[in-house]
Amino acid sequence: MFSALLEKTWWAKAATPLATLLTPFSALYGVVIAVRRELYSRGILARSHPGVPVLVVGNVVVGGAGKTPVVQAIIRCLQQAGYRPGIISRGYPVSPKQPRTVTVRSIASDVGDEPLLHFALGVPVVVCADRVAAAMALLEQHPEVNILVADDALQHYALMRDIEIEVISSERRYGNGKLMPAGPLREPRARARDCALRLMPSWITPSGGYKDGNHHVVRRKLGDAYALIEPGRKTPLSTFAQSRPAIVAGIANPRQFYDALLRAGVQGQLFGFSDHYNFRSSDFDAIGERAILMTEKDAAKCRSFADRRMWVVPLSVHFAPETKRKLLLLVRDASAIYAPAPESLVGNAQELNDGPQTA
């Protein structure tokens, strides 16, 4: 009950009594994180760099902001430009203390749900609570990797980085603007200004073009659903328009998935679970025989007991040409520090004026 009240407080537009009560604790938290960052910047706490460009994706806000599809879009963009990326991740909620390499035999309970989705892109993925250890293990196993993408590592200062990318939800943004526990901020909002590229996943394109303030808007898109027991079998979302399916989501904001389906013409019944929820077959017993729509993140934990009712709805994000250009120029400049970029990569970063592109 308290966690639900806290969530409501964080995302309220106006200050609540609970937020006011918790503000002194937020001030103390702010001092702690400021001291921690200063210790890293002065070298008192150890920092390491793996020797290839490091691109960190993260946010200053607790909870889901859409980082997973953004990371995947970045990887596709890098692959298209000729880079050989690898991904390191904490592997939440598993967070192993020793590096674990994701393989075709990996399951969510061993490496986390998001790393399985990343691995499906055909890139090496290593998970570990210690991102430096993960980076070293990945490069030892895959010396061909020439750029590392660190998923959700903005506050992991032990890992030195070349590019920081902030991701922020277009719906929730920065909540009430307060630090934890009075608000949802992991770090002060001003910290986001240090990031070289700031992305905002959204269902709509802003009237002003591809930007909303200081953020590049990246468009979300739902794809055709596919059967969890037979991924090659696909069907348009319109198939479920009249059947009132069960909509299952164990993500930070389940309502967001429900609303996205509603915009696509699918009205169903939402069954919301906590973020990274570890599903069991019994969780679906009360649903009956109707179709079940779920996210890819949740589907990764349901494969072992999947049945014919379960359909997966993929979510992708799409970069405007200007966003892709800025990303590739940042990567090109970072890569030049470690090794000269091949002419083909330089060209790819500059030749992005030939119409809309997606990643």
What average pLDDT does the chain have?
A: 89
Q: Which residue has the tokens 């902030």?
A: 166
Same-domain status, 215 and 292:
no
pLDDT of 338 reads: 85
Give the separation between CA 28 and CA 179, rounded to whole angstroms.
10
pLDDT of 49 reads: 96
Q: Which residues of the chain have pLDDT under 50?
A: 346, 349-359
Residue 43 lies in a domain: no
Report residue 332 CA to chain centroid gap. 23
pLDDT of 172 reads: 85
Residue 355 lies in a domain: no
Residue numbers of the domain that contains 75: 54-84+146-219+318-350
pLDDT digits (tens, 9 = 90+) for 183-215: 999 999 999 999 999 999 988 877 777 888 889
Same-domain status, 80 and 164:
yes
**Contact indicator for 99, 131 with CB cutoff of 8 Å:** no
Residue 297 lies in a domain: yes
Same-domain status, 294 and 239:
yes
Which helix (H) or strand (E) covers residue 318, if one does?
strand 315-318
Strands 215-222 vs 315-318: parallel, antiparallel or unpaired: antiparallel
pLDDT digits (tens, 9 = 90+) for 102-161: 999 998 888 988 899 899 899 999 999 999 999 999 999 999 999 999 999 999 999 999
Report residue 55 CA to chain centroid gap. 13
Same-domain status, 234 and 302:
yes
Residue 66 lies in a domain: yes
Most distant CA atoms of the chain, gap in Å: 61
Same-domain status, 239 and 309:
yes
pLDDT of 354 reads: 40
Same-domain status, 308 and 322:
no
Four-residue CA torsion sign, 323, 329, 335, 341: positive
Domain count, the chain: 2
**Contact indicator for 308, 290 with CB cutoff of 8 Å:** no
